[in-house]
Structure 1
Amino acid sequence: MSAGRLLSVLLLLQTRGRMSARVIADELGVSVRTAYRDLTRLQEAGVPVWAEPGRGGGYQLLDGYRTRLTGMSEGEARALFFAGLPGPAAELGLAAEVTAARLKLLAALPTGLREEAARTAAVFHLDAPGWYRERERTPHLALFVDAVLTRRAVDVRYRRWRAPQEVHRRLRPYGLVLKSGVWYLVAAGTTRIATYRVTQVLDAAPCDERFERPADFDLGAYWTSCLDDFQARRHTGTATIRLSPRGRRRLPDNVPPEVVRAVDATAAAVGDDGWVEAVIPTESIEHACGELLRLGVDVEVVAPSELRRAMADTVGVLARAYGSAVVTTGDGSRPGDVT
């Protein structure tokens, strides 16, 4: 049973008055049976919900009954959006507000719903950062939070990947995005809206300039379009590879999902030993070489020749480092013949 959905039913009845179970179900995207069950649970929790039968009837709260979220500050109201994200809330400087808002919200609920909410909170935990890396330090994050909320421009010194690596920008922050434990600032610069990794900001200072965010700007839609554009620009070529059965099993742990999907879509058997040949997307020769080397002797690059040569050169360097020599046959045999 979702405590959040029960609260939604309660607030629907409070704000709209009498509603049929069918209308409640449609509003919440659940079945009518589920709506009836939620209404019963509200009654069992002590909420004065009563039903009026017949045509034009429905469910409504007893006159004068209202659930109250009292004494909530502006910061605590904002913090409610991060109530399930204690780590990110702390990074944004809202840890205390989240705690206070949660306590006030729980205190305002009827006993039954309070217990349901407590049970739900006890069995779910979100840890945003990915495995094998530490949480990034974001000393300027709080400044950007304030800039987003107050619509104040910020002067930054930013480190980017292309030359010149360090640039100065005046940014008008439109929003912040947390992606796999990494914070990104979406902001308008001089000519366009762009995305900036917060940890790459070397210096930041607020300025007196105020701005208005465009009324039609949608942060979620912008981020989705950025991801789509990134994927479209990311892969600039293709490679033909051969994989052993073990290599194919190891593939999901070593390459991105789009490479796995490409193998699944194009794999064709070569011989009767389980090896397959497939065409995969690549970002660059250097990147593909590093990615495919993770599979060791379970992969062979067939084409392009530049990638095959890069793989052979790298394996040769490794063999010399470990005191062995690579036998190059040139007959297309599978890798792994080292003497």
Structure 2
Amino acid sequence: MKSSRLVSILLLLQTRGRMTAARLAEELEVSVRTVYRDIEALSAAGVPLYGDAGHAGGYRLLDGYRTRLTGLTADEAEALFLAGAPGPAAQLGLGSVLAAAQLKVRAALPAELRPHADRISGRFHLDAPGWYADADETPYLPDVADAVWNCRALHVRYRRWREPTDVERHLEPYGLVLKAGRWYVVAGPGPRTYRVDQILRLTSLEQRFTRPDDFDLAGYWAAYQRDFHHRLRPARAVVRLAPGVSLPGPGQTDAHLEEDGWTRTTVPIESLDHAHAEFLRLGTGIEVLEPQELRDRLARTAAELVERYGSPRTAAGDRPLRQPRRSAHPA
């Protein structure tokens, strides 16, 4: 809508300063001609807008002019208060800062939007850590956060999973990520990812570093997770699943329904040992076709179970139960 777009132009110029018509059009996803018309509308309404020609030109607001109009909708006000996670903020030493900021934002909201902000805070609570793990001890988290904010290098003693376990590292912290209740610091050179709770000792250095202008923390983390899952499950297995049976997790490919109602698909597996244990849980609801080594291991386990428990019998114990017939394994 035009009214929403006019508010967006005001806020963009207020927060970013001088902007060209082309840049405004790109931000708002409209044509440059539309931006020209909107600028004329704002000027006609008395907004002190100035346009400068030339390579370094663009539109800007009169120095000192600020609008009190936030342009927030009810949904935006609710989302703003939902985004505030008090637990992680407190871990970073910003609990009181977050509370003060929310109080100020609430006071600046139009009266009709304040109930929406109060309602979202009272009906939704974000609790990041999982159920079945103790909270990680992260005594150096505030120091790491300070280094991230001030571009200050760190010298740490870090515990990793492979030998030698305890190593010395020089870190240039680019950003912090909270994943499933666990804090990670992404740091150069590299960059590489480190668990904050595995930092054994930390020294904040006077040395400062320059954070790469093109570094995108969210983009890096998305790529890191994709690579992590690929390394976690490097192998593949071809299986058949009975009707109604499914395997958890992403990565299944080439799934197609066969004539007997079973589904043939290719799934990633972490290792033969892990897949052997996971597939046994599905009992007769799964048949492994490849790799042959995994199929043979499951067959040996099934044979051992038959030897241990014997043939299935009726409650009277005098006649074996008749096994249901299944389609033969395709060649």
Q: 2:207 maps to what in 1?
A: 209
Q: 1:299 maps to what in 2?
A: 286
Using a 3 Å threshold, how does the CA distance of structure 1 residues 122 and 221 change in structure 2: closer, same or farther? same
Q: 1:277 maps to what in 2?
A: 264
Using a 3 Å threshold, how does the CA distance of structure 1 residues 114 and 201 change in structure 2: closer, same or farther? same
Using a 3 Å threshold, how does the CA distance of structure 1 residues 295 and 166 change in structure 2: closer, same or farther? farther
Of 251, 256, 263, the match for 1:267 = 256
Shift in Å at residue 161 of structure 1? 2.6
Identity in percent: 46
- Is the partner of 2:162 in helix, strand or coil? coil
Query: Is contact 1:92-1:142 (8 Å) kept?
Result: yes
Q: 2:140 maps to what in 1?
A: 140
RMSD (Å) for aligned C-alpha atoms: 4.2
Query: Is contact 1:82-1:88 (8 Å) kept?
Result: no
- Is the partner of 1:138 in helix, strand or coil? coil
Long gaps (5+) in structure 2: 17-23, 31-37, 49-64, 71-79, 313-324, 327-331
Using a 3 Å threshold, how does the CA distance of structure 1 residues 81 and 172 change in structure 2: closer, same or farther? farther
Distance 1:200 1:171 in 2: 14
Shift in Å at residue 173 of structure 1? 0.6
Query: Is contact 2:81-2:102 (8 Å) kept?
Result: no
Shift in Å at residue 96 of structure 1? 1.0
> Normalization by structure 2: what TM-score?
0.65
Query: Is contact 2:176-2:184 (8 Å) kept?
Result: yes
Using a 3 Å threshold, how does the CA distance of structure 1 residues 215 and 26 change in structure 2: closer, same or farther? closer
Shift in Å at residue 140 of structure 1? 2.0
Using a 3 Å threshold, how does the CA distance of structure 1 residues 173 and 106 change in structure 2: closer, same or farther? same
| 110-119 vs 194-203, which moves further | 110-119
Query: Is contact 1:175-1:185 (8 Å) kept?
Result: yes
Using a 3 Å threshold, how does the CA distance of structure 1 residues 60 and 202 change in structure 2: closer, same or farther? farther
> Normalization by structure 1: what TM-score?
0.64
Shift in Å at residue 56 of structure 1? 3.7
Long gaps (5+) in structure 1: 17-23, 31-53, 70-79, 328-332, 335-339
Query: Is contact 1:267-1:279 (8 Å) kept?
Result: no
Shift in Å at residue 145 of structure 1? 0.4
- Is the partner of 2:266 in helix, strand or coil? strand
Using a 3 Å threshold, how does the CA distance of structure 1 residues 61 and 132 change in structure 2: closer, same or farther? farther
Write out per-residue CA displacement over residues 298-333 of structure 1, whole angstroms, 9 at most, x where no aligned residue.
22322212223444566688x59xx64799xxxxx9
Of 184, 192, 195, the match for 1:194 = 192
Max Rg structure: 2
Distance 2:201 2:97 in 1: 27
Q: Which has the higher helix share?
A: 1
Of 210, 213, 221, the match for 1:223 = 221
Distance 1:304 1:326 in 2: 28
Using a 3 Å threshold, how does the CA distance of structure 1 residues 90 and 9 change in structure 2: closer, same or farther? farther
Using a 3 Å threshold, how does the CA distance of structure 1 residues 276 and 12 change in structure 2: closer, same or farther? closer
Q: 1:165 maps to what in 2?
A: 165
**Count of equivalent residues:** 273
The amino acid of 2:249's aligned partner reads P
Using a 3 Å threshold, how does the CA distance of structure 1 residues 132 and 10 change in structure 2: closer, same or farther? farther
Using a 3 Å threshold, how does the CA distance of structure 1 residues 164 and 233 change in structure 2: closer, same or farther? same
The amino acid of 1:301's aligned partner reads V
